[in-house]
Amino acid sequence: MRKIFLLLFAVVFLLSCNNDKKDDSKTSEVKSDSPSVSTNNVAPAPGEEILGSYVGSFGDNKITLLITKASNDSIEGRSIVGGNDRPFKGIFSYHEGIYNAVVKEPGDHKDDGVFTFSMTKANLNQVTGNWKPNDNKRPAKEYSLQKRKFEYNPNVGNYPQASLRLLTAKDVENEMKEDLEFMRNEIFARHGYCFERKHLRLEFENEEWYVPNTIDIKGFLSEIEKKNIALIKRYEKYAEEYGDEYGR
């Protein structure tokens, strides 16, 4: 009887192990399938799709509207024009495929005002609207801006070597002062710097690669660029002091 009991116990034990293995395999299948659920087709929350930089004419200048936050009904960003970098806050709405926003600059600068703009779901690359200054004596402005993605590219411009390698005296010693100034500021332009001096703004705004994006780039300059800026500035000074004798 004892042998029969032991035999029955062994059979039951083996069957139990086999059932456990089958259950484990089913569990592993469920785990392996679960990550396959794709999230790529999940639509962005209202507002996320309008984030970014929008660039275009603004009177005699160019303007960049940089939208950095848009959630619920709150929208934030910055306006960059004529060397002025101003924050703005306001509200936006989305209804029947159209985004509408009203945002205000702080009001503690003479050029501050209120932006009203809209864009459609069908064309998220274009913003149209108007700006009304806080100073009622100044005229309002209308604008139509195109979305531009800022990307730092050290290879663009007339003097890309100033961002790619350390310059030597031979690279700069025969350049005129105006050319040296352009070479130095082109380093800033590649980082999206918004120039306050009009002649520099006009020069770089004609470049297709230039997207004004900020007025503070100190944390973005590479060590190569910092050293080249210092070198170019020294030779700019020499060119100014010695004039026609410089580099001849």
pLDDT in tens, 144-175: 999 998 899 999 999 999 999 999 999 999 89
- Cα 140 to Cα 117: distance, rounded to the nearest angstrom: 13
Query: Residue 11: pLDDT above 60?
Result: no
Arithmetic mean of pLDDT over the chain: 83
Q: Identify the weakest region by mean pLDDT among 19-28, 190-199, 207-216.
A: 19-28
> Which pLDDT score is estimated for 197?
86
pLDDT in tens, 85-143: 899 999 999 999 999 999 999 999 999 999 999 999 999 999 999 999 999 999 999 99
Cα 66 off chain centre by: 8
Q: Phi-psi region for residue 83, left (φ > 0), alpha (ψ -120 to 50) or beta?
A: left
- Cα 93 to Cα 73: distance, rounded to the nearest angstrom: 6
Q: Where are any strands of DSSP class E within the chain?
A: 52-58, 61-71, 74-81, 84-95, 98-104, 113-120, 123-133, 141-148
Considering only residues 16 and 77, tell me which one the structure prediction assigns the higher pLDDT.
77
> Which pLDDT score is estimated for 235?
94
**What's 48-148's CATH class?**
mainly beta
Sequence ranges of the domains in the chain? 48-148, 161-245
* Fold designation for 161-245: Methane Monooxygenase Hydroxylase; Chain G, domain 1 (1.20.58)
Confidence of residue 198 (pLDDT cuts 50, 70, 90): confident
CA distances from 141 to 60, 80, 124 (A): 10, 15, 21
pTM over 0.75: no
Q: Identify the weakest region by mean pLDDT among 36-45, 118-127, 136-145, 211-220.
A: 36-45
CA 164, 206, 237, 226 torsion: positive or negative? negative
Residue 58, strand partner residues = 61
CA distances from 98 to 47, 89, 123 (A): 11, 19, 10
DSSP tag of 125: E
